[in-house]
Amino acid sequence: MATIVFLGAGSVTFARNLLGDVLSYPALADSDVVLMDVDADALERTASVARAMVDAGDYDATVEATTDRREALEGADYVLCTIGVGGADPFENEVEIPREYGVEQAVGDTLGPGGVFRAMRTLPTLLDVAHDMEAVCPDALLLNYTNPMAILCWALDEATDIEVVGLCHSVQHTAEAIAHYAGVDADDLEHWVAGINHMAWFLDAEVDGESIYPALHEAAADDEHYTADPVRFELLEHFGYFVTESSHHLSEYLPYFRTDAAVVEELTPPDGYEEGPGGITASWMPTGAYLEFYRGMKEWQAERDVEDVDLSVSRSNEYAARIIHAIETDTPRRVNANVRNHGGSITNLPDDACVEVPCLVDGTGVHPCSVGDLPAQLAALIRTNVAVQEQAVEAGLERDEDALRRAIKLDPLAGAACTLDELDAMVDDLLAANADYLPAFA
């Protein structure tokens, strides 16, 4: 019997899906589930749904809910972290203030000014989580879903003794998308993917031993496919490989796509684009598109009746429950996860970097695979992002404002849009606007 803690459980949809994954495994259906959130009302909604799911399926799992983090973590075996620190107001500042300086972020949660400042307001809370775990569940595995993934996991691994693994769904969603583009069944697709979170690459993608890359290149010439995913198809053409992050999000990590409003407009479908396999959302290219979605989702969740939630149990493509099941039952399984590169999984990236690589999971834990060298052009693109992450980790752990400013100045998109003096002025404005969320930089 495993004790599984959900931190940030107030997000009903995500918590419900992850709990459904756990309950879908008979070997985990008797788990002790502990839900924790600082928002008592949101927590109670999730707890009501979770208990109803357990009752509807007549599972042996138990569900507890608490707003006390230390109490929730007591004796945990696994901690799933989906927290968001600060909510919509600082998020809006992190998008709109850079916008005033010409830095156009569609999402703003992974790299760039938005990602770096999100890390600064999130890391202190995650460090508190890890230190609580050191005290009351030191052997527990922290499975982190919170962005910015690479910065946070790097910093937690650097500063604490807790084993942390970062999880995302971009590899799974991209596998679905490229199978769709290539006209093959996603269940038949074999792949080998490595890089960093939101910039990992399908180094191999095969069906029955045959590469689907020729079909992907043909798909790039198809207007419907290209319109759905223009940034990723552009990178495929110019750098030779398909990348894991969606076009709207990926466009922020590079200097090529967001410094000219006409280019953003050109890459945005004129009438929007219905979401397709793999979460195709090219219509989210405009600046602040995800912020608008985030606010709408919060309102929808707050107004949603618990009675309207689907209580059926099914297995999503998220990795968390797969990892827990593999460890608990000693069932070997391969997933893509975010870990430090200390073992040299990717030999032409820095040893300290947080990389997203194939990992073998069994009863002894999570073990990163050896990838070797990435193609030189892919490693070069990744290193531009790692440079920002490295400075952000230093800024967050050392409370170093100079490192914070260097992180912003090294960012590919910000550097393409602004002068160095403009970037300093932007940082000044962000520090002032979000001062309540950044006590370390007061």
Query: Is 162 found in the same domain as 188?
Result: no
Q: Is the dihedral of CA 320, 321, 322, 328 positive or negative?
A: positive
**Position 1 pLDDT exceeds 90:** no
Is the domain of 201 the same as that of 278? yes
Looking at the structure, tell me whether residues 176 and 160 fall in a common domain.
no
The pair of three-digit structure tokens given for residue 404, joined into one six-digit string: 């914070």
State phi, psi for 393 to the nearest 5 degrees: -60, -45
The pair of three-digit structure tokens given for residue 187, joined into one six-digit string: 């269940």
**Mean pLDDT of the chain, nearest integer:** 93
| Any domain includes 154 | yes
Looking at the structure, do residues 216 and 89 belong to the same domain, yes or no? no
Domain for residue 330, yes or no?
no
Token readout for 434 is: 């979000």
112 and 16 both lie in a single domain: yes
| Tens-place pLDDT, residues 134-160 | 999 999 999 999 999 999 999 999 999
- pLDDT band with cut points at 50, 70 and 90 for residue 265: confident
- Residue 273's CB: how many other CB atoms inside 10 A? 18
The whole-number pLDDT of residue 278 equals 54
Percentage above 70 pLDDT, the chain: 94
Q: Which residue has the higher pLDDT, 278 or 156?
A: 156
Give me the CATH number covering residue 12. 3.40.50.720
Residue 191 bears catalytic tag: no
pTM: 0.94
Question: Which of 239, 271, 286 is where one domain is finished?
Answer: 286
In a domain, 87, yes or no: yes
pLDDT exceeds 70 at position 275: no
Coil/strand/helix, residue 144: strand
The answer as to whether 397 is a domain residue is no
Q: What percent of the chain has pLDDT over 90?
A: 81
How high is the pLDDT of residue 297?
A: 65
Chain centre to alpha carbon of residue 381: 19
Q: pLDDT-derived band of residue 264, with 50, 70 and 90 as boundaries?
A: confident
Q: Which of 255, 286, 317 is the last residue of a domain?
A: 286
What's the pLDDT at 166?
98
Q: Which amino acid is residue 296, in one-letter code? A: G
Mean pLDDT for the stretch of residues 413-419: 97
Q: Are 22 and 52 in contact (CB under 8 A)?
A: no
Count how many domains the chain has: 2
Domain identity same for 156 and 256: no
Given 169, 180, 191, 325, the catalytic residue: 169
User: Does pLDDT of 274 surpass 70?
Assistant: no
Using the predicted structure, report yes or no on whether residue 273 has a pLDDT greater than 60: no
329 part of a folded domain: no
67 and 177 assigned to the same domain: no
pLDDT above 90 (res 271): no
- Does residue 400 form part of some domain? no
The crossing angle, in degrees rounded to 10, of helices 112-136 and 376-398 is 60
Q: Which of 167, 186, 221 is the last residue of a domain?
A: 167
Return the residue matching tokens 């002790």: 32
Q: How confident is the model at residue 258 (pLDDT cuts 50, 70, 90)?
A: very high
Asked if residue 197 and residue 158 are part of one domain, the reply reads no
State whether the Cα torsion 55-56-60-61 is positive or negative: negative
Co-location of 142 and 206 in the same domain: no
242: helix, strand or coil: coil
C-beta atoms surrounding 355 within 10 Å = 31
Residue 125 sits in the same domain as residue 175: no
The predicted structure's pLDDT at residue 301: 63
* Whether residue 410 has pLDDT greater than 60: yes
pLDDT of residue 350: 97
Specify the pLDDT at position 312.
Answer: 81
Domain membership of residue 201 as a residue range: 170-286
328 domain-assigned: no
Residues 78 and 161 in one domain: yes
Please indicate, yes or no, whether residues 180 and 148 belong to a single structural domain of this protein. no
Q: Is residue 334 part of a domain?
A: no
